[in-house]
Amino acid sequence: MRIPILKLHDCLLVSIQWELDDQTALQFQEDLLNKIHETNAKGVVIDITSIDFIDSFIAKVLGDVINMSTLMGAKVVITGIQPAVAITLIELGIGLEDVLTALDLEKGLEKLQQELGD
């Protein structure tokens, strides 16, 4: 299954609605980077509210997606991080120091628009 990536003005919205397996995570990484390139998106909001658990591989892929998106010039906001996911990311050393976060998708969009100066 592919994760839908929606375009809203100059931003991309991603809402991950199920636990990711390795194949889906890698496909998502490729799809998002291609979509940033195709649309020249300035920002990405990734909502992970539905993810209750994250393993080391998925955590690494998520960190890579964030870093790669930033390298391509898109600001990234992660929304809906569950407590167990936050703990796992920190324990695995996946640093999200420069990543904007918000409690939900609506607040994430607001934060992204502020960052982009819109």
Could you report the per-residue pLDDT of 79-111, keeping only the tens digit for each? 999 999 988 888 888 877 778 999 999 999 999
| Per-residue pLDDT at 97 | 74
Mean pLDDT across 20-32: 93
Sheet with 100-102, edge to edge strand ranges: 5-8, 11-15, 43-47, 75-79, 100-102
* CA of residue 39 relative to chain centroid, distance: 17
**Nearest CA among 65, 24, 64 for reference residue 44:** 65
3-state secondary structure of 49: coil
Query: Which residue ranges form the domains of the chain, and what is each CATH number?
Result: 5-116 (3.30.750.24)
Per-chain mean pLDDT for the chain: 91
Contact between residue 32 and residue 45 where contact means Cβ atoms under 8 Å apart: no
pLDDT for 88 equals 87
Residues 58, 101, 18, 39: is their CA dihedral positive or negative?
negative
Q: Tell me the pTM.
A: 0.91
